[in-house]
Structure 1
């Protein structure tokens, strides 16, 4: 469960440190006081997308952190182990920082994580039902997703979607092969010729580089030979060989250095030069003996270079890329040969269809009993929410050809009273009815969820009176199993809470900030009285508030 939430410089919150209790808690206050801001901050800690506007005016960044008890979930423990996140004292600390540009960073127990990882761990810790969650139930995709999530069928639904995509791609391959058989045959013929021509060239990038070097040597063989011979003559084979002269000078300096040691370093330099010059002579002779003018080999090399460059020009690439061109042509030819085999394509499509059919049938079989159970539970809840005789049903409408979502369309249907037939929820539910039905669905599905903390943000909009009291009792009952929090404007709902906070705006140093007050029994009476009677609180409204709370007013 959620134990602590720390917020700094978020919207109109300068800094808040909030400690949460068990059971059912109500967050109340005037409209715009910042009740939903607290939940928005918690949502960011759990991986919601951030915008620059969340940073309080004049500040560089907003910071939020939330401490949760570690749920006893084996899959969560395995996930944390995979991410190399250590857990101390059975607690998880989630932290998020958002700067003025909307960029953010996140941590779990001090380990830097991505938003995806933050969302993944957040799904085990808390579930936030937003203000407009019941409106989402009007969408077909939301209805299907709710059923599959409640039934624990998300993985199977993804498997069905994947099988559908595979089947459709196989069908499309068959259709393309039939529609463009002549074009495919022509392209295949061209590719076969290109592959054969490139293979005959037998091009290798390393051999090409060596060939270019050899061509450079052969093309300049005469000049290279003349230059090397001239160097050998000057150093050792001419009338005044430089090597011999250096050796004589080094010997003379050796005699002089015996007289004046200061000349020893100069002798060493000259003697080294003589040695290196002698080594150069040996190397030049070896090179001279190896170099030869070979016009036949030069012509052969130039012919090979011409063949390679012509091929590269034909394919509009540099010579070094010819190997890649051959690989691409082979891959495309293999694909065409595969696609050009109608029996093989048809067999592949049939196999994909069968795989989809098996997965879709499993999904249908798993959905049916859960849809029936959930329909009965929501119908029962409607009877207590001033919709006596009303009926709710999750209809699984068959789709003849199936879809990425299975063999049926999931449709929420409702009859608000016994005299009405079942019709799609999107077409018949009024605003108040939709709020009550949506709240019933959220509470019922939350009971089955493993998430330890449930948060409802003004989901009780559109109800009041006796129904509001029933809703409060439903949330209080749910709070016996989970930690439940509800942002509400209804005194009947707030009065059922085990604990209550009041959120208000205040002026501090010329700025508007949001404050949170933990209410004791006397303060709860005043807050419930405000919710009942507005600005002017009378003794009558205070007495009514105390009766709702089951408390005795002070004084």
Structure 2
């Protein structure tokens, strides 16, 4: 509920601060006194667009601050979604600077206008004859019936289930499309895959290995000649390296005992002899291995050519990349070969989610059907009390073939204003005054079952008088038992029913005009209601009538 409103430097308001209470409150004042300014200030603090024309003093900033007690509204999740600090007593502030810039804060946290408007929807509901067309909005009609049917938990589950079902359908269609495309490419992909499979690609760098082997085989004769020549140089009698090393070793052995240095030289010659013997052994071994093999050379060249051709064909530059291509082709081939199982699983998911969604939608429909009769009877009784004795109201529910965001029902509010007339959509058959009373009746019924935000009725009683005005006041007063209701009115019958009475008036100070809002005490209320009854020249009868109206309250 709205607990207080503070306004500085807005339109004709220089400084204004007012506290509001729970229940039914009224605001009165002469035409042009500034009631619309008050509504404008409330709209501005809750996210309406601002411009410099709103500044009373163009050199100073405008500040509007509203306090709301929201502990009973379960708004924690809304604040979490907007990343705002939740406080049971929430303060919303809007500032309009002389530069034209504006700022908004919720509990001292800066917020965007979009976020502010999201909060506004949960805090304040402003109604006038100009915005009762919301009654014809499908969203609002579903909202009313589902609120009465207590469908909120079911609708939450239904929307989650519907989302899962739509995703399942989407996945099935996507899979079918992919399968069709894959089937068209299947034969070609299978051919490419088998070609790579037959190539028996190896993880190691096979190309480099092949190139080295080919290089060896291509020069086998030169390699063998040089290996044999090396053996000959090492083993030839008298002048071979082995023979010379033997002589060196023998010479040094004769002097090794004379000095440690000579002994070291002798050991080194022995080491050289051992190393040479090992080298000669390896040379002979390698020379025996080397042989010219044109067939093997041809095979290796063919293998290398195959790998290069495959790389060129698949636009890659290595065997590793060819292996990756092979894996991709395998998946594409497998996708087609496993299509039946994949389609079966996707179809099962569609059927399963459809069943869950359908069961929830049917429960929602059943709950709606249960409350329609009582809702119709209650609303028609209220409308009868409000001067629409012959009005007949109908909630028409038509089954849908496909799921909508609201289930399997199309909900429409219809009205027959007079006996014998046909039912028609509200926007076509109801006048502005009738729409106002229908909205009032619906809000009255909703207030018993839903924790509604503060409702502000802006002269919703325009065009009625006498007993009907009193009945309208009774309805708003009854609504005030369950919630905060504030109404701006010109009717004394409506004003007299208020628990709190506020008056808007203008005051001229020098060259300036200012709008004020005050809370009236009992004596001031009598005078205000008497003035509403008989004009500024309050007669004794008007005062007595005012006292009578207020005593009834």
TM range (shorter): 0.5 to 0.7
Shift of 1:486: 0.5
> For residue 29 of structure 1, what is the aligned residue in structure 2?
29
Provide the C-alpha distance between the structure 2 equivalents of 1:529 and 1:182, rounded to a whole number of angstroms: 83
> For residue 351 of structure 2, what is the aligned residue in structure 1?
350
Q: Are the counterparts in 1 of residues 168 and 350 from structure 2 also a CA contact under 8 Å?
A: yes
Q: Are the counterparts in 2 of residues 446 and 454 from structure 1 also a CA contact under 8 Å?
A: no
Give 1:136-285 correspondences, 5 Å limit. 136-154=134-152, 156-168=154-166, 170-171=168-169, 182-183=180-181, 185-186=183-184
- The CA deviation string for residues 452-503 of structure 1, in whole angstroms up to 9 with x for no partner, is 7432223223433321111112222333443321012323212222332222
Q: Are the counterparts in 2 of residues 12 and 512 from structure 1 also a CA contact under 8 Å?
A: yes
Alpha carbons of structure 1 residues 97 and 379: separation in structure 2 relative to 1, 3 Å:
same
- The CA deviation string for residues 398-433 of structure 1, in whole angstroms up to 9 with x for no partner, is 223342321111111223344445443333223332
> For residue 473 of structure 1, what is the aligned residue in structure 2?
474
Q: Are the counterparts in 2 of residues 71 and 124 from structure 1 also a CA contact under 8 Å?
A: no
Alpha carbons of structure 1 residues 350 and 91: separation in structure 2 relative to 1, 3 Å:
closer
> For residue 104 of structure 2, what is the aligned residue in structure 1?
105
- The CA deviation string for residues 93-128 of structure 1, in whole angstroms up to 9 with x for no partner, is 3333345656433122x4455667656666665544
> For residue 281 of structure 1, what is the aligned residue in structure 2?
none
Deviates more, 1:7-16 or 1:401-410: 7-16
Alpha carbons of structure 1 residues 185 and 23: separation in structure 2 relative to 1, 3 Å:
same
Alpha carbons of structure 1 residues 142 and 482: separation in structure 2 relative to 1, 3 Å:
closer
Provide the C-alpha distance between the structure 1 equivalents of 2:191 and 2:42, rounded to a whole number of angstroms: 64
- The CA deviation string for residues 160-183 of structure 1, in whole angstroms up to 9 with x for no partner, is 345445444544665676678654
Q: Are the counterparts in 2 of residues 173 and 339 from structure 1 also a CA contact under 8 Å?
A: no
Deviates more, 1:182-191 or 1:409-418: 182-191
Shift of 1:384: 0.7
Q: Are the counterparts in 1 of residues 6 and 17 from structure 2 also a CA contact under 8 Å?
A: yes
Alpha carbons of structure 1 residues 115 and 151: separation in structure 2 relative to 1, 3 Å:
farther
Alpha carbons of structure 1 residues 151 and 123: separation in structure 2 relative to 1, 3 Å:
farther
Give 1:275-354 correspondences, 5 Å limit. 341-354=342-355
> For residue 129 of structure 1, what is the aligned residue in structure 2?
127
Alpha carbons of structure 1 residues 519 and 399: separation in structure 2 relative to 1, 3 Å:
same
Provide the C-alpha distance between the structure 1 equivalents of 2:460 and 2:125, rounded to a whole number of angstroms: 13
Q: Does 1:62 align with 2:65?
A: no
Shift of 1:27: 1.2
Does the residue aligned with 1:438 lie in a helix, a strand or coil?
helix
Q: Does 1:547 align with 2:545?
A: yes
Provide the C-alpha distance between the structure 1 equivalents of 2:459 and 2:192, rounded to a whole number of angstroms: 68
Provide the aligned C-alpha RMSD in A: 5.0
Query: Normalised by the size of structure 2, how large is the TM-score?
Result: 0.63
Provide the C-alpha distance between the structure 1 equivalents of 2:316 and 2:177, rounded to a whole number of angstroms: 34
> For residue 514 of structure 1, what is the aligned residue in structure 2?
515
Provide the C-alpha distance between the structure 1 equivalents of 2:52 and 2:462, rounded to a whole number of angstroms: 27
> For residue 283 of structure 1, what is the aligned residue in structure 2?
none
Alpha carbons of structure 1 residues 449 and 106: separation in structure 2 relative to 1, 3 Å:
same
Q: Are the counterparts in 1 of residues 23 and 484 from structure 2 also a CA contact under 8 Å?
A: yes
> For residue 391 of structure 1, what is the aligned residue in structure 2?
392
Query: Normalised by the size of structure 1, how large is the TM-score?
Result: 0.63
> For residue 433 of structure 1, what is the aligned residue in structure 2?
434
Larger Rg: 2
Among residues 93, 96, 102, which one is paired with 2:94 in the alignment? 96
Deviates more, 1:391-400 or 1:93-102: 93-102
Provide the C-alpha distance between the structure 1 equivalents of 2:127 and 2:189, rounded to a whole number of angstroms: 58
Does the residue aligned with 1:448 lie in a helix, a strand or coil?
coil
Alpha carbons of structure 1 residues 24 and 59: separation in structure 2 relative to 1, 3 Å:
farther
Unaligned 5+ segments in structure 2 are: 202-306, 318-323
Alpha carbons of structure 1 residues 429 and 195: separation in structure 2 relative to 1, 3 Å:
farther
Provide the C-alpha distance between the structure 2 equivalents of 1:156 and 1:488, rounded to a whole number of angstroms: 40
Provide the C-alpha distance between the structure 1 equivalents of 2:158 and 2:69, rounded to a whole number of angstroms: 35
Shift of 1:17: 1.0
Does the residue aligned with 1:376 lie in a helix, a strand or coil?
helix
Unaligned 5+ segments in structure 1 are: 203-302, 314-322
Does the residue aligned with 2:448 lie in a helix, a strand or coil?
helix
Provide the C-alpha distance between the structure 2 equivalents of 1:182 and 1:480, rounded to a whole number of angstroms: 65
